[in-house]
Amino acid sequence: MIEDILNYIRLIIDFKIKNENSDVWWRGTSDFTYELKPSVYRNDSPGKEHNSHFRFMRKAVSIYPKCPGETEYLNWLFLMQHYGLPTRLLDWSESALVALYFTSNEIEKHNKDGALYALLPSKLNNFEVERNAIILPHDDLVQKISHEAFNQNKNGPKKICALFPPLTDVRQVMQHSVFTIHGKTDSLSEPPFLNNSIFKFKVLKEHKKGVLEMIKMLGLNRSSLFPDLENLSKEIAELKFVIR
């Protein structure tokens, strides 16, 4: 369990040593009961994925100047994920501190325990696709899983894999973004993934406020993770000023 930044740092060091300093990716959630699967698989509506993606592509080209090419399916998924459309991508971060921020940043959920997930990406890929490495975007397997998201004939690989994205947006850079892409609906927070390539730690609700305050003291806040004027305004609006 995580109580403060010092405990968190010890947890990271111990986890890295235990796993022989291999790559570790992190994800923080404000609710310990959160199911670790992409947003598109949280809705059981048949055809929703394909139809929503088609509608996004159809209209995005008229309002966004840097849209991917028509068949650049993975890049379309990254763009959709960035702007909040449900996709088969799941966000992770190479920064443990960034992930910890997301366990505690939602003030309205400070009455719930949070969860910090650690992913061994190479181990996940070895288990799922027999490759002991992190996969690159142009890989044929990743392209097939991406293509299926836009194809009504659901015959793509039923696999989950960890991949490095192209960092085309400053938000991805600031959040140290990496992704898993999911060709099936299985939850990573359940066996056979949990305690194999995925590990879960609890952030107690009574510690969330202190954890969030210390993270902000270290210089990590909303406007640094979401560097735009909207989030800068939200951050300033939440400040409390003392009139002397």
Residue 201, classed as helix, strand or coil, is strand
Alpha helical stretches, state H, the chain:
5-18, 48-63, 73-82, 96-104, 121-129, 140-148, 170-174, 208-217, 222-225, 229-237
- Which residue type sits at 14? D
Tokens 């210390």 sit on residue: 214
pLDDT band at 147 (very low <50, low <70, confident <90, very high): very high
User: pTM score, two decimals?
Assistant: 0.88
Centroid of chain to Cα 29: 10
pLDDT over 90 (residue 146): yes
Q: What is the DSSP string of 124-193?
A: HHHHHHS--SPBPTT-HHHHHHHHHTT-SS--S---EEEEPPP--SHHHHHTTEEEEEESS---TTSTTT
Percent residues over pLDDT 70 in the chain: 94
Tokens 């735009």 sit on residue: 228
Please provide the average confidence, as pLDDT, over all residues in the chain: 89
Both tokens of 42, joined, read 């949280």
Bond prior to 121 in cis (omega within 30° of 0): no
pLDDT band at 231 (very low <50, low <70, confident <90, very high): low
pLDDT band at 10 (very low <50, low <70, confident <90, very high): confident
The set of residues, in sequence order, having a beta carbon less than 8 Å from that of 30 and lying 6+ positions away, is 102, 103, 104, 105, 106, 109, 112, 114
Mean pLDDT of 29-42: 93
Residue 193 to residue 183: CA distance in whole angstroms? 15
pLDDT higher at 201 or 242: 201
Residue 56 to residue 90: CA distance in whole angstroms? 19
pLDDT band at 150 (very low <50, low <70, confident <90, very high): very high
pLDDT over 80 (residue 46): no
Instruction: Select from 210, 19, 221, 215 the least CA-distant residue to 118.
Output: 19
What pLDDT is attached to residue 9?
Answer: 79
Instruction: Select from 124, 123, 105, 110 the least CA-distant residue to 36.
Output: 124
